[in-house]
Structure 1
């Protein structure tokens, strides 16, 4: 039938576009209600993966019926699911004692489950229908499916979120669902009355795929899926915590399907030849020790993901079965992708205290690379004889292990010289190049290369009690810098610092220096609010601010991560709390949700310190969040917000919120001189807000002349709300 392929391509693209548009949309809708805990979003991600797998299983089940009956059933369920439109969250708030791991799946499942389930079935089901029309090979249509997903993924943060409120987003998606129903109906009209073609394909297909084949499909799908998630976490934890960076790994992952499943095999074949070299480059950056060129390294790491995903997905395409087993193929693929996600999202945080899943998946990718000829002539001669192949591979693996240990300084009493390190590195690289084409030997040498270049050191840190801590909120490290400093870091972000010189252990440091915005306020809290001032602090960190407490004051901290509380309370890590507030009152949970449930007028000072990391919890800066802070504060109370950030200029956000909520605002941009830097003070930007003009004037007077300035506003910038907010207008690019 004329126009069959374009019709199916358009329908599949539209379905995938809607599928990847709804995921960030529903997550954005749920943010104010569920809070910003990463554990919540891990649960949400698993819901999406489970619904995708269910949709593929439904398509596989439906394929047993004649094609036109499939269309009738699917279109009927399509209409039935429309009763859940317009898309949005069901009413209700989580009970106080419910486990989020149970509540989040229930909420999202009830809100979008039927709609997501039906749309998720589009890609495999319509490929099955396309086979029934006899219009050609259905598998390249999967490339179109992932192209639609890629466009949907980019469209949300770049176009939909900045331009549309959540209400308009919901209406727009619902209209798109109606358009998709019409496109599916048009595709169904192409189906023949008889399934003679499918029956002939089944007869010619032979026996169904065996278990080894299906397990291979599963592995080829699981490793790129896991590597995509591991790359996202690895980049934002250890390289550069840039907002929206998560879009790039997921986008490249989706794009790799479009290339890997394309009928043009030239790019896949070329990248298959280059993949071992690219993996060796990736192995060199798997365990960073300091990052001097974060953008360049990020591009390299993303390139490794892209090449590996294209090659493994291309191998999946090459190993595809007859169209008679198409839906089974996609069901196994979906299950493999979910396994990769489960490993990185749930299992790895439980068993590792650093992002070790990234180098593990690089080694797994090396094992799965397609078989190819040796790269070097010497390698071809070495591996030609089967008997020699075994002992040569064994000898290389033993030598690689010894060289990695020697290069890391584990075989000598003194640290190795730079010359020894370089020699070990070069020899491992040389053996890895010789081993190209021999999967086990090559994967082992790639692993030894990673261990030689920082891997053994990271493993030593991992087994040292208290040095590395990992939770669903990130990977934290506690280490000494010289003999008089102890620092708390999260990847490339400093979260706290303590002066270890005798007599200076209580001194506020880093962003919380006495002349910083928060330091000026807390030093004068008694003068402003009396001896019984009530202070709330959102974000515990190392507990540095605790030492500003004065006798008679009532303090309360709000912290989302129990592991951070454990670090702050452990005097072997940091002693701010044990020295200054040994019985500190700490409320665990998302600060906005906790504050919303507390009595009004219960604080004189409220410090919001959730923005020193470069990825911010957006729901803590909306108009509704500011109203919660205002309700909690006394009428003349002071709200202090920390907005230091390498990639976001939060001043317009706070200025717009202040104007909208009737707050008086002042900015303190503290830049320490050399003397202050010697005291471990670092630069910081704070904003003080109060609905009482006299209180702000009092803070300025007590601080000293010229320290506070007007908070600049950006003309036309609207305040963030729970219904509409975007970080694109406040991004600042910085290498």
Structure 2
């Protein structure tokens, strides 16, 4: 007999909210903790997400397994597991050896499993288990809406970390605070168990026995519907950071929107979900049609559109899942398969896609998969209006698809320059056809694919057959020749990562951020004056190898590069010749620069150059006080540390100004404006380089005297760093990017 006490809905809602809040706060917290060991590449985040999804699946499987026992026994087992997992508190990073080159994809999951696996596992079981316990009371009603509360807690936990926790608390305090939340969760679980303790001694909960087990086909349907939004969330993250805007803040947004889609889809308010499901096919056409475009050019509009598409499609699919939900008797099976679908989508986007594809093809493939699974309500039933028979209507839809194929071909002709005309008009025509054929799924998905091909997709696919593009764990690299400009360029996504002049007379001349008037150009040109003919130089970040041509005979150069694929590109004389022409014998050390520099003998280098940014993605772990300390140890006492801080979205001068002040070092910045308007030197780029030294004499020798900031455009001018009042020094334990975020550029999407 089931207890007749009140259902205590508030208690179960609170327990689920707290558990989900903790679960998704620990994700960015642990990501922050491992920065000194992993860096911040997008694929590191995707690998971490895959680990979280796998642990979530384990937690849901555990909750499903517990269902075979009485509720009392479930409570005893679950609380015992809570106590065992508490041995991993406070949250910290496991002490395991760093990865070898190329082993990051396997090492990241191992580190995260060892660090938070048991804690994450037991907390992740909260959402389905508490819903099951709640439903044990016959007066409780439908438990599924509690999943909306679960994801609301997850959403709040995820966003509160960068907005509130990280800027105000060091990591040690964060870890202990999370442990206090864990203790609160244990007390809430005890209270929830007590609320259902009486009358719950039977082997099975008192549930309707006439609810049939969902068919295998229905279970597979759940699996696929759950897999697509999960994979799309990760592919959107990769797509944005690789080909649109390489800004780390965007890494959290897709996950947040993915979680919030559950809040809407599983709530009791059905109208918002219905409206979104009606809009989803249109949004998928308009934004998903850009899914094969590989020249986004840093447009914030495209970035925001991609995020909007993710949210709308995820909400529509999750709403469909809610519509297909089984009776409460099979609740844990439903959530188990949902979680398995999430892992399946994560495996495809985070693990298999980088191995299978040379570009982010997982993104357009998942967009097409969404088209195959979305509910497709007919917006304009023109076949009914015209009184067409079903067979005639299908033939008419096929004709419209054929017209769309012709329009896509015309777009390709114009996109590739083989014909003149308005690409946009043909794109609009395909879009309209897509709206008209929504009632026929095969036609709708075909038109969506044709729109992708027409809007830059043909170029993207064709590039895969040239051998010019390669993908690694850290990004997508493309080498392209521009004969009319006598240039060969290396792009990381759509970001210029290196450029070489192809004419023999000029191919050794440094380009882009590394020109003779850049901070690094001025410094390396003086290496012999500063440190003698045998100057020892460390370069962190290889790129195309441009800086190698500042090397002079007798100098000892060591280059540190995290990506073996980048080393292969720079060493291949058929691609770039900076290394082979200027420094063929320079030592190249593969691995994270911070870890590798820590292994160097003390006082080895006269000059250390840090140029490890990937477009605007900040390797935060390379700018903390501990990192600067590693560089200082590797340098000679009068050595020069040079750091590249050119960035569209973060003003990094205060970070280094605070560090220099704390150490008592001299610091200056060279803000090279780049070539003047109309100059022939279109291969040079504006740049900002910061020089730091422990000795004022060395700074005077390097700069010739620091000038006022209003003289920065002058040739060779070094000026003081811009400090920020109250700015706290970055450390491994405390660092926040919010104080240095350039909001006007984030909102306006200004490009360099």
TM-score, normalized by length of structure 2?
Answer: 0.92
Question: Alpha carbons of 1:362 and 1:156: their partners in 2 closer, same or farther (altered >3 Å)?
Answer: same
Structure 2 residue 51 is the aligned partner of structure 1 residue 47: yes
The DSSP-based 3-state class of the residue aligned with 1:607 is strand
Match of 1:655 among 649, 654, 657: 657
1:148 aligns with 2:153: yes
Structure 2 residue aligned with 1:712: 722
Structure 1 residues 706-715 or 661-670, which shifts more? 706-715
Match of 1:247 among 252, 257, 271: 252
CA contact (8 A) 2:101 2:562 kept: no
User: Residue 697 of structure 2 is aligned with which of 691, 694, 697?
Assistant: 694
- Describe the shift of the 1:675–1:534 C-alpha distance in structure 2 as closer, same or farther (beyond 3 A): farther
Residue correspondence of structure 1 range 397-416 to structure 2 within 5 A: 397-409=401-413, 415-416=418-419
> Where in structure 2 are the equivalents of 1:431-446 lying within 5 Å?
431-446=433-448
For 1:666, the equivalent position in structure 2 comes to 668
State the distance in 1 between where 2:658 and 2:180 align: 32
Out of 195, 201, 205, which is 2:207 matched to?
Answer: 201
Question: How far apart are the structure 1 equivalents of 2:259 and 2:220?
Answer: 22
Counterparts of 1:10 and 1:95 in 2: how far apart (Å)? 41
Q: Classify 1:706/1:422 alpha carbon distance in 2 versus 1 (closer, same or farther; 3 Å).
A: closer
Alpha-carbon distance, 1:41 to partner: 4.6
Question: What displacement does 1:24 show?
Answer: 1.5
- In 1, Cα distance between equivalents of 2:55 and 2:129: 15
Please tell me whether residue 8 in structure 1 is matched to residue 22 in structure 2: no
**SS of alignment partner, residue 537 of structure 2:** strand
Q: Which of 630, 633, 645 lines up with 2:632 in the alignment? A: 630
Q: CA RMSD in A?
A: 2.4
Aligned-pair distance for 1:131? Answer: 0.6
Q: Aligned partners of 2:110, 2:716: CA distance in 1, in Å?
A: 54
- Superposed displacement of residue 430, structure 1: 3.1
Which stretches of structure 1, 4 residues or longer, exceed 6 Å deviation after superposition? 95-98, 702-706
Residue 224 of structure 2 is aligned to residue 214 of structure 1: no
Count of matched residue pairs: 730
Superposition TM-score, scaled by structure 1 size? 0.94
Deviations 1:347-387 (A, max 9, x none): 11111111121111111111111142x32242445796343
Q: Would you say the 8 A contact 1:524–1:702 is kept in 2?
A: no
1:61 aligned to 2:71?
no
TM-superposed CA distance for 1:533, in Å, is 0.7
1:191 matched to which residue of 2? 196
Question: What is the Cα deviation at residue 719 of structure 1?
Answer: 1.4
Q: Quote how far apart the aligned CAs of 1:292 are.
A: 6.9
Compare 98-107 and 15-24 and name the one that shifted more. 98-107
Deviates more, 1:475-484 or 1:643-652: 475-484
Offset at residue 438 of structure 1 (A) = 1.4
The answer on whether the counterparts of 1:382 and 1:389 sit within 8 Å (CA) in structure 2 is no
1:227 aligns with 2:229: no
CA distance in 1, matches of 2:156, 2:112: 23
**Structure 1 residues 313-392: aligned runs within 5 Å:** 313-372=318-377, 374-380=378-384, 385-392=389-396
Task: Summarize the Cα distance change of 1:199–1:532 in structure 2 as closer, same or farther, 3 Å threshold.
Answer: closer
Partners of 1:239 and 1:294 within 8 A in 2: yes
Q: 1:522 aligns with which of 500, 524, 534?
A: 524
Q: Indicate the residue corresponding to 1:550 in structure 2.
A: 552
Contact 1:33 1:93 in 2 (8 A): no
Residue number in structure 1 paired with 2:687? 684
Deviation of 1:45 after TM superposition, in Å, equals 3.0
**SS in structure 2 opposite 1:204?**
coil
Q: Secondary structure at the match of 1:452?
A: helix
Structure 2 gap ranges (5+): 707-713
Structure 1 residues 52 and 87: CA distance shift in structure 2, 3 A: same
Instruction: Tell me how far apart the structure 1 counterparts of residues 459 and 204 of structure 2 sit (CA, whole Å).
Output: 58
The answer to which of 538-547 and 697-706 deviates more is 697-706
Q: CA deviation at 1:242?
A: 2.2
Contact 1:37 1:590 in 2 (8 A): no
Match of 1:721 among 721, 731, 735: 731
Deviation, 1:107, is 3.3
The match for 2:710 is: none
